[in-house]
Structure 1
């Protein structure tokens, strides 16, 4: 059952695939590192420069105070975004390792069952 109540096209309720491949996770993490993080930093620096110029230009006016407040809010939001990007990057890089560990543990469990069944003549 899907939350929106519409069944999947194949009738199973899922896409038929478990997840992305380790290579896809690595590529996504690399995109975050080589494109999103540096481009976000550049955009932030450009916006900060422009805003600081505007704040100085309106010095003594209420607009200057308002722009400064907006700039401070922007900086906090960018800090949160950069933290989120870093977290997602780390999660993507760590997910493949966790899946491999889980697969190995599951395989070990089945091997133990197989060994026990052979010992008991099953």
Structure 2
């Protein structure tokens, strides 16, 4: 086996070309997109589908097809509920991530502060 070059510098398989995640502003923008576009549009699409499905169930009343369409609609509703929960969870995680990183950085800084204050190199 022969190597024709060296791998690029930095950690292997780092997402985003070696950058760390995204900025707090990007996280906030993504959370806002979930809140202002994805959640309301998903709800609107669900309501439209529910109306059409209810009409179909009424149209097939007395047939086995009505029961089948109703079962599919119930499954759909459960999947939408799961999706809406996931969107809300992701929105909350995006909004909380920046604060979490900042608190983590402050906490680590606080752990190192006593070491620096006790150093014999202080005052040299």
Shorter-normalised TM range: 0.7 to 0.9
- 1: CA distance between counterparts of 2:9 and 2:99? 30
Give unpaired runs (5+ residues) of structure 2.
Answer: 1-6
1:30-87 deviation line (CA, Å, top 9, x unaligned): 0000000000000000000000000000101111110000000000110010011001
Task: Find the counterpart in structure 1 of residue 29 from structure 2.
Answer: 27
**How many residues are treated as equivalent by the alignment?**
116
Per-residue deviation, 1:11: 5.7
- 2: CA distance between counterparts of 1:24 and 1:104? 22
Superposition TM-score, scaled by structure 2 size? 0.85
Structure 1 segments of 4+ aligned residues over 3 angstroms from their partners = 8-11, 118-122
Superposition TM-score, scaled by structure 1 size? 0.86
Give unpaired runs (5+ residues) of structure 1.
Answer: 1-7
